[in-house]
Amino acid sequence: MGFEMKKESYTGGIREITIGKGDSAVTVGGQTCYPFYMFEGDMPNKPVIAMEIWDMAPEDWAEPALAPFRDVAGDPVAWAKKCVEEYGAEVIVLQLKSIDPNDKNAPAAEAAATVKKVMEAIKVPLIVWGCASPAKDEEVFKVVCEACQGGNVIMGPVEEKNYKGIAAAAMGYGHGVIASSPIDVNLAKQINILLENFGMPMERVLVDPTTGGLGYGMEYSYSVMERLTMAAMTQGDEKLQFPMINNLGNEVWKSKEAKQSVEDAPLLGDPERRGILMEAIGAVSYLMSGTSVLIMRHPESIRLVKEYIKILADGGSAKDTAPISKRLADVKVDFAALAPQLDLTIEEEKKKVAPAKAAAPAA
């Protein structure tokens, strides 16, 4: 009798969402099976990696993350073009860090002008990420929507406090939104329902379940995303059948471990390889939980994850994947010298009383 593989039965699937327009548009979602389970269903669109840029010069980036972009950091247009032309970015994510009310608090018109310049300078789809201040994001996104009319730009995060204003502007000027919720299945469903009831075309909605970096809540985010995927696939919950997006690079590279030098944390090894692998490992984890769009930062992390996606989707071997290509000087760590002196003493043995010597026989 031949071997018969048991297959999961699915009652639902993930909607297809198109980002951008024209020949450069990218479609995500559409899968009718768990991530990369192509023996059980279809996965017509591979997960997409979007490269992030900032609208201002980063002031606290780790040296390994800054090195590939040092010549363009502070110039969003040049930065975006470098990501596309040199690193092959399929999607660009413009992080509007300058609008943060607790930092530079840049005006909406200034931010919108930057977004429009970037959109016009690249031929790939554009996603705009706000500062997570609901009032400021709403103020800025309304102006961005008008300035970039018809560009099908995706904007987020959109949450319960500001969804009406942003959704109205997005609908009016032909854009999409990212529905954001704080790591909770019910809240993720609720914001989707609110957007749908408001009249937002749901074929223009991505879901941001909130992303934790490696060692900083990733397992919690993973668990919620896995449950969202299961509810969409096996329970047929139409309110959760949307592609997910993870703002991963921002979370990984702001962590203490990604910024520590070899002098600060010698046991963590080479800081450049460390940060790259932290981002790549986080990306692979989120791919397994069902994400459709990963926002990433370092070109080497992106290369490794693209190879991983290709191997899972098309077959192949990781043996053919090139090792990490370093830009910074190599770091040598003498782990043997840092290791504590080996102590093989068994405490229980020390406590045993030595046997008494036999008394000499009487004369």
Residue 123 domain flag:
yes
Residue 114 domain boundaries = 17-332
Average pLDDT, the chain: 94
- Domain presence at residue 6: no
Report the CATH number that the domain containing residue 160 is assigned in CATH.
3.20.20.20
Q: What is the DSSP letter of 292?
A: S
User: What are the percentages of helix, strand and coil residues in the chain, rounded to 5?
Assistant: 45, 15, 45
* pLDDT value at residue 249: 97
**Quick one: average pLDDT of 249-273?**
95
Q: Contact, 180 vs 208, CB < 8 A? A: yes
Residue 5 in domain: no
How confident is residue 232, by pLDDT bands cut at 50, 70 and 90? very high
pLDDT tens string 280-307 = 999 999 999 999 999 999 999 999 999 9
Q: Kindly tell me if the per-residue pLDDT of 359 is higher than 80.
A: no
The answer as to whether 277 is a domain residue is: yes
Q: Using CA atoms, how far apart are residues 100 and 193, in angstroms rounded to an integer?
A: 28
Tokens of 103: 């930092």
- Residue 356 DSSP class: P
> What sign does the dihedral 283-286-288-290 (CA atoms) show?
negative
| Residue 2 located in a structural domain | no
Distance CA(13)–CA(16), nearest Å, equals 9
Instruction: Tokens for 234, please give them.
Output: 């096996």
pLDDT for residue 34: 95
Q: Is the pLDDT of residue 352 over 70?
A: no
Is pLDDT at 5 greater than 90 in this prediction?
Answer: no
Distance (Å, whole) CA 127 – CA 135: 19
How would you write 47-82 as a 3-class SS string?
CEEEEEEECCCCCCCCHHHHHHHCCCCCCHHHHHHH
Going by pLDDT thresholds of 50, 70 and 90, the confidence category of residue 345 is: confident
Question: 345 lies in a domain?
Answer: no
CA dist., res. 93 & res. 300, Å (int): 17
Q: Is residue 272 part of a domain?
A: yes
Q: Is 4 exposed, middle or buried (0-12, 13-18, 19+ CB in 10 A)?
A: exposed
301: three-class secondary structure by DSSP? helix
The fraction of the chain above a pLDDT of 90, given in percent, is: 87
Report the number of distinct structural domains present in the chain: 1
User: Which band of pLDDT confidence, cut at 50, 70 and 90, is reported for residue 215?
Assistant: confident
Residue 342 pLDDT level (bands cut at 50, 70, 90): confident
Quick: pLDDT tens for 109-125.
999 999 999 999 999 99
- State the pairing for strand pair 154-158/245-247: unpaired
Whether 355 shows a pLDDT value over 70: the answer reads no
For position 68, what pLDDT does the model report? 97
